[in-house]
Amino acid sequence: MTPEEILPDEMLRRIRDRAAGYDQNNSFFHEDLEELAAAGYLKIFVPESDGGLGLGLEAAAALQRRLATAAPATALAVNMHLVWTGVAHVLARRGDGSLDFVLKESGHGEVFAFGISEPGNDSMLFDSGTTAEPQLDGGYSFTGRKIFTSLSPAWTRLGIFGKDGGAREGSGELVFGFIQRDAPGHETLNDWDTLGMRASQSNTTLLHGAMVPPERIFRKLPVGPNQDPLIFAIFACFETLLAAVYTGIAERAFTLAVEAVKRRTSAKYGAEAFRRTRTSAGRLPTPPWQWIPSSRIWRRWPVTWMPWSITGRSGFPSSWGSKCGPRRTPGPSWTWRYEFREAPATSGAPNSNGCTAMCWPGSSIPPMRNPRTPQLPTRGLVRSKAETLEHWSGDPEITAVLLTRCAVR
């Protein structure tokens, strides 16, 4: 199925028509969610045998990109459900069934939300200010504060984590689990009023000894960065789907900007005053891409499996000008951001046959002064683009490299 078949134009029109009202009234997108659920949108990753669409990360990113052009806040909130189901999908394809219940329950209509973010927690997945107290039955009670809990009015399952400070001989242990909506010990505050994102209702969630039974505790990890597949799967799904949403938002903004320019006139200078602007805006090309063999990527960028971001500023001689597109004066003035998504490799290096990346046709990978600040050619066009690329034995479902071009004047 194509994105247009799952999200037809008529549905997008209805969703777009409701978006402004949600934001104006600071209300949740109940109608959008009902319509998306009826279309099977929340079951993108659920296998067909369990009543889902049986699609993967590439399809989900394309759908989220399309949905974001109509209702950004709706797409951002739905992302949280898709992240958990996407993580379950990624793990299941690699023989890890610890989150199979997420896919099954999603197939039955349950809505999953992301209760991970905490105020002031810069460590994100690698530490927690929430307390996880072990119980005699093997479950845990969680006490803490979670912020940006999108889907607050609608979730039926909330994925959370906290720290058991007494575990692992006092070094602490991070415990991951899911609480149910009807379980006691959680409270949703009405504190979300963020312009443009009001419909997501990403309210604060307070945990007051919220109980998670042992069968819903699905990971216990050491404090600090680690190579558990769960961490990789969360970053891969979260970053990919988030990039897809913001790409869709940018595309819609660009479309509206072009339409606005075409309508502009001048009482003083006449309609021709903006002719050159309209022509330039209407002719901005879609840049072509070229695949680079993965072996060259690995030789130049010996990145580890762990997702990390590196930002470098181009620093090429004037000879790069012809490869960077037309410029008034050759020289560096653009920034690229790369985020690498690598799978754990038993040999200590990524699969050289599966990991790929992209650059402009005719360009090459130049030498770098520092492996963490790659110097790459760019082109004089303000545009952002995210691509998910394959890894892990050539599996197209995994995100090996998330490439986001952030060219800023």
Instruction: Work out the percent of the chain whose per-residue pLDDT is above 70.
Output: 66
Radius of gyration of the chain (CA): 23
Q: What pLDDT is attached to residue 1? A: 81
Query: CB count, 10 Å around CB of 294?
Result: 22
Q: Kindly report, residue by residue over 285-300, the tens digit of the pLDDT.
A: 444 333 333 344 434 4
CATH of 112-222, picked from 3.40.50.300, 2.30.42.10, 3.20.20.450, 2.40.110.10, is 2.40.110.10
185, 209 contact by CB (below 8 A) = yes
Average pLDDT value for residue range 352-375: 36
203, 152 contact by CB (below 8 A) = yes
DSSP three-state, residue 278: helix
165, 178 contact by CB (below 8 A) = no
Q: What residues does each domain of the chain span?
A: 3-107, 112-222, 286-409
Distance CA 343, CA 305 (A): 5
Pick from 47, 181, 178: nearest CA to 104? 47
pTM for this entry: 0.70
Distance CA 110, CA 103 (A): 9
- More confident position, 312 or 276: 276
Q: What pLDDT is attached to residue 277? A: 57
Q: How confident is the model at residue 368 (pLDDT cuts 50, 70, 90)?
A: very low
Query: CB count, 10 Å around CB of 335?
Result: 16
Asked if 3-107 and 112-222 have one fold, the answer is no
pLDDT value at 388 more than 50: no
**Residue 393: burial class (beta carbons within 10 Å; 0-12, 13-18, 19+):** exposed
Pick from 409, 339, 323: nearest CA to 374? 339
Distance CA 121, CA 243 (A): 22
User: Which residues share a beta bridge with 177?
Assistant: 160, 217
Q: What is the CATH number of domain 3-107?
A: 1.10.540.10
